[in-house]
Amino acid sequence: MISKLTSLYRPSYAAALIYMLQSTEYQIRPYLRWVWRTDDFSGVMHRRTLERTRPAKLLLAALSLGMLVQIAAGLLLVYLGIWHNLTGGIAFGLAVLISYPFIWAYLIVLPLVLGRELIARPKEQMLLNESDAIFAKHSGIKIAVAGSYGKTTMKELLTTVLDEGLKVAATPANKNVSISHARFAANLEGDEQVLVIEYGEGAPGDVARFARTTHPTHAVITGLAPAHLDHYKTLQAAGEDIFAVADYLKGKHVYVNGEANAAKPFIKSSYNVFDRHNALGWKVERAHVSLSGIGFVMTKASQELELHSNLIGRHQVGYLAFVAALALELGLSSEQVQHGIAKTKPFEHRMQPYELGGAWVVDDTYNGNLEGIRAGTELLKELKAKRKIYITPGLVDQGEETERVHQEIGRLIAAAHPGIVVLMKNSTTDFIKNGLKAGDFKGELRIESDPLDFYTNLKHFVAAGDLVVMQNDWPDNYA
Amino acid sequence: MVYMETVAVIFGGRSAEHDVSIVTALASIIKPLELTKKYRVEAVYIAKDGAWYWDDKLKDIKLFTSGGIQDYLHRAQPASVQFDGGMMLVKASGIAGRKQTRKVDLVFPAMHGTYGEDGALMGLLDMTGIPYVGCGVSASAVCMNKVLAKKVALGCGLPVSDYMSFHKSFIERDASTLLKTILKRLTLPLFVKPAHLGSSIGITRATSETELRNALEVAAHYDDEVIVEEEVPNLIEVTLPIMGNDQPKPALLEQPMTKPEDFFDFDTKYLQGGKKGKGTAKGAQGYSQIPADLPKDLYKQAEELGLNVYRVMGCSGIARVDMLIDSKAKKAYFNEVNPLPGGLYAHNWNKAGVSNVELVERLISFAKERHAQRQSLATSFSTNYLQQF
């Protein structure tokens, strides 16, 4: 209790507040929620420390200065109260002294609000207006990639494969909101044949707005699952928003992942549906999955195409087949497609296999949705291993669906029959445990209170012959 | 609240292998034990002067690698051990002269070489009556004496290479006569070793009379008993970590990737990461091939020899048996046993499918099993002997 209270008055408190702002990408609501939830600020910078960027340094300087001024004012009042009999000086001075950590935790958002409203927003609006015109005029094929999950994977696959025969540009990394699209547009050369634009939905109306400003000609919907339900509230609302891009295209050149069960009610007859068995008229057969990748054969009439990718997980087959089929439709040769698919490889922390002390670890810690969990547990079930270990803290941002989703996660894990399940202690742990029980899980269950410590020491828990699937990782602001 | 057993990990010690012991304790024992979250782990360090220290700070490898241990030893009060009804660690708490105590439920010895691995510590622990990990007094004493171990193996019909042994006084008294005796009976090249040291300390390969004379002096510098062994021709060196009590289980045969002339001295083993060999990784894991690349029948022969050696020496818990193979004659010879393999040979166990955490947990369970067996033995016998006086 005392150490929690003193954490407010430690010199590192100001840096902790700025770290919290930085970790929540300077968004006020998540920051404030984190502040309200935290009772020991000394443990806030657990996984990382404050990255001293220019805005962070400026905010830290402002915050430190503000706190010092308040402390000085408090001391002055106490001094006046003692030596000059200022009425209420001592009491008020002490109150000023004691209250500075509380006051400045909130006051620090003020420069953010002002900066955002007076400087950033007008600048962004200007950039958005310019990008609207750039996208509208651009003559290339503009492929929008939307969905609750699999967007970055699909974008990277499209870029890697289409790049074998066409000039392609894509939104960088996971930069997928309006301002990122605008910055992407500003850097275009104009002669690109294909633009791949990722749509990062977060709240109702996002995807419709992205479509209006980026003017897509094609759209790929990778899936629908409970995500960002703190804003969407229901899966229906999330689906409506994601499929707004299909409405924008009036159903033409819309491609939907048919394996996403939740997306099915939104699919119209004019949409092209692909899955691990069929893609744009191609039949997908003889798929085999291992830790070294995926192989499968696509056939259409007398044509046959044998493909191999370094990606892992059977759930990737549909994506790869669709990308190959679209590339062929856009004029790439079979050889170019084969070469492009062969170049595809796991992305960092997304179904990325690596060897650890003779064991195989599949790092899917960037996954953040139920469908990803389904894919990870399917992979765990499918691959052979002497001992199977599954590790997860659960999912964030599941809103009212939290309990149902985590019970489902427990059932999915149990169905993969791992020998050991490791859960990170948090608000969802009991729901997963209930799901494991319902799924008749018979292995060993470990509950870890310090995820960072566990991940750091994973090498001590595994040995040759083990297969470890590690999904989702909660950043500090959720832990 | 769930009761957590206290495990004391004892390391360091008055031995030439003091530093190796620190790494074994901190990297391969204390960390995995703490990760089990089943035990309260106490670090008990025996300094080079023999003083005992008990402190959580001793769990930090940086204290030793940075040289900060010297400052620590100047400041810290040594701990003591009480043996009334088990084992109790005692040290000054620094608060009003009060003593801090901790009752130990189980000891995990991590001391290599003299006073630790040779049975001395095990004898002390037997007196306390608490369980401890690894070989007991007699097995440790036999294994750590290379001469005695060869005699036991020979006596049980297990193959060993030709050897001779001498007390250091022979070397000091009349080295020339001794050299003649050796060269009359054994053929060069020869390996000269201190009889009791591990980690390849003081070992020399001699290919001439002059080298042999020097090698004897080096070995006698470390030990009062010296063993001289004939080199096995067409040599493949292998080592086999083994774990268990009555039903020992082998890990994988490991083959160091060196030529006979580049045998593993301490420097190669621990400091160069096997640079004399083909391995690339750092430390003791980089110089070997696991499993050894041997024909199936030869692999089986060596594995069986290793298990037989483990049994006849009376090993329990864990040990590592080193063997020499004549690849042309397809024959394996017993070389020596290490009753506490450096780092528990965790890298080999990992490849055999045993994680570091599982390894320490299994060793603790073997220690408890052996302790329970010993507890069931009668230790008193009623006679009227005293009444006759």
Q: Which of B31, B35, B355 sits opposite A463 (nearest CB)?
A: B355
Q: How far is CA A297 from the centre of its chain?
A: 31
Please tell me the predicted confidence (pLDDT) of residue A38: 87
Q: Where are the alpha helices (DSSP H) in A188-243?
A: 206-214, 229-232, 235-242
Sort out which chain A residues have CB atoms less than 8 A from B357's CB and list them: 460-461
Q: In the predicted model, what is the mean pLDDT of residues B369-374?
A: 93
Q: In the predicted model, what is the mean pLDDT of residues A292-301?
A: 95
Please tell me the predicted confidence (pLDDT) of residue B35: 94
Whether A464 sits inside 8 A of B35 (CB atoms) is no
Please tell me the predicted confidence (pLDDT) of residue B175: 83
Q: In the predicted model, what is the mean pLDDT of residues B338-362?
A: 94
pLDDT band per the 50, 70, 90 thresholds, residue A396 = confident
Whether B31 sits inside 8 A of A460 (CB atoms) is yes
Residues 6+ apart with CB under 8 A from B10: B25, B44, B45, B46, B107, B108, B109, B110, B111, B116, B121
Distance CA B326, CA B298 (A): 10
pLDDT band per the 50, 70, 90 thresholds, residue A25 = confident
Q: Please, what are the domains in chain A?
A: 2-107 (no CATH), 136-343 (3.40.1190.10), 352-471 (3.90.190.20)
Query: Does A464 reach chain B within 8 Å, measured CB to CB?
Result: yes
pLDDT tens figures, B289-309: 999 999 999 999 999 999 999
Q: Which of A386, A457, A464 sits opposite B350 (nearest CB)?
A: A464
Q: Which residue of chain A comes nearest to B290, CA vs CA? A: A358
Whether B352 sits inside 8 A of A460 (CB atoms) is no
Q: Which residue of chain A comes nearest to B354, CA vs CA? A: A463
Distance CA B19, CA A119 (A): 61
Please tell me the predicted confidence (pLDDT) of residue B258: 65
Q: In the predicted model, what is the mean pLDDT of residues B141-145?
A: 92
Whether B352 sits inside 8 A of A464 (CB atoms) is yes
Please tell me the predicted confidence (pLDDT) of residue A226: 81
Please tell me the predicted confidence (pLDDT) of residue B329: 95
How far apart are the CA of A463 and the nearest CA of chain B, in angstroms? Answer: 5
Sort out which chain B residues have CB atoms less than 8 A from A461's CB and list them: 35, 355-357
Q: In the numeric block, which tokens belong to residue A355?
A: 């060897």
CB A314 within 8 A of CB A287: yes
pLDDT band per the 50, 70, 90 thresholds, residue B279 = very low
Q: In the predicted model, what is the mean pLDDT of residues B69-97?
A: 86
Whether A464 sits inside 8 A of B357 (CB atoms) is no
Q: Which of B31, B35, B353 sits opposite A463 (nearest CB)?
A: B353
Query: Does A465 reach chain B within 8 Å, measured CB to CB?
Result: yes
How far apart are the CA of B343 and the nearest CA of chain A, in angstroms? Answer: 13
- Residue A475: pLDDT over 70: no
Q: In the predicted model, what is the mean pLDDT of residues A286-314?
A: 95
pLDDT tens figures, B56-74: 999 999 999 998 999 999 9
Work out the burial of residue A259: count CB atoms within 10 Å of its CB; fewer than 13 is exposed, 13-18 middle, 19 or more buried.
buried
Q: In the predicted model, what is the mean pLDDT of residues A122-126?
A: 88
Q: In the predicted model, what is the mean pLDDT of residues A238-249?
A: 96
Mean pLDDT check: name the lowest of A278-292, A360-374, B151-165.
Answer: A360-374
Q: Which residue of chain A comes nearest to B251, CA vs CA? A: A464
Query: Does A462 reach chain B within 8 Å, measured CB to CB?
Result: yes
Distance CA A82, CA A98 (A): 18
Residues in chain A: 479
**Reported pTM:** 0.80
Outline where DSSP puts E strands in chain B. 5-12, 39-46, 52-54, 80-82, 87-92, 99-104, 106-109, 163-167, 190-194, 204-206, 225-230, 235-244, 249-250, 255-256, 288-289, 317-326, 331-338
Q: In the predicted model, what is the mean pLDDT of residues A451-471?
A: 92
Which of A336, A468, A290 has its CA nearest to residue A389?
A: A468
pLDDT band per the 50, 70, 90 thresholds, residue A479 = low
Whether B35 sits inside 8 A of A460 (CB atoms) is yes
Q: In the numeric block, which tokens belong to residue B107?
A: 């000891």
Distance CA A422, CA B163 (A): 53
Q: In the predicted model, what is the mean pLDDT of residues A97-125?
A: 89
Peptide bond into A122 cis (omega under 30): no
User: Helix, strand, or coil here: A362?
Assistant: strand
- Residue B262: pLDDT over 60: no
The angle that helices A206-214 and A178-186 make with each other, rounded to 10 degrees, is 20
Please tell me the predicted confidence (pLDDT) of residue B17: 84
Pairing of strands A387-392, A466-471: parallel
Chosen for mutation from B33, B36, B350, B360 (greatest number of chain A CBs closer than 10 Å) is B350
Chosen for mutation from A424, A460, A461, A466 (greatest number of chain B CBs closer than 10 Å) is A460
Beta carbons within 10 angstroms of residue A345's beta carbon: 13
The angle that helices A206-214 and A121-137 make with each other, rounded to 10 degrees, is 60
Query: Does A455 reach chain B within 8 Å, measured CB to CB?
Result: no
Q: Domain B162-231 is classified in which CATH homologous superfamily? A: ATP-grasp fold, A domain (3.30.1490.20)
- Residue B198: pLDDT over 70: no
pLDDT tens figures, A132-166: 999 999 999 999 999 998 898 999 999 999 999 99
- Residue B269: pLDDT over 70: no
Mean pLDDT check: name the lowest of A262-276, A307-321, B108-122.
Answer: B108-122
Residue ranges of chain B whose CB lies within 8 Å of a chain A CB: 31-32, 35, 347, 349-358
Whether A461 sits inside 8 A of B355 (CB atoms) is yes
Sort out which chain A residues have CB atoms less than 8 A from B354's CB and list them: 463
Q: Where are the alpha helices (DSSP H) in A138-218?
A: 151-162, 178-186, 206-214
- Residue B9: pLDDT over 80: yes
| Residue located via tokens 């890298």 | B347
Please tell me the predicted confidence (pLDDT) of residue B283: 43
In the CATH hierarchy, which top-level class contains the domain B5-132? alpha beta
- Residue A51: pLDDT over 50: yes
Instruction: Classify each residue of A20-44 as buried b or exposed e, where b means 16 or more C-beta atoms within 10 Å of its C-beta.
Output: bbbbbebebebbeebbeebeebbeb
Which of B335, B309, B304, B303 has its CA nearest to residue B322?
A: B335
Q: In the predicted model, what is the mean pLDDT of residues A43-53?
A: 84
pLDDT band per the 50, 70, 90 thresholds, residue A412 = very high
Q: What is the residue-averaged pLDDT of chain A?
A: 92
Residues 6+ apart with CB under 8 A from B39: B4, B5, B6, B7, B33, B364
Please tell me the predicted confidence (pLDDT) of residue A393: 93
Report ipTM (2 d.p.): 0.82
Q: Where are the alpha helices (DSSP H) in A333-424?
A: 334-343, 370-382, 402-415
Distance CA B148, CA A363 (A): 51
Extents of the domains making up chain B: 5-132, 162-231
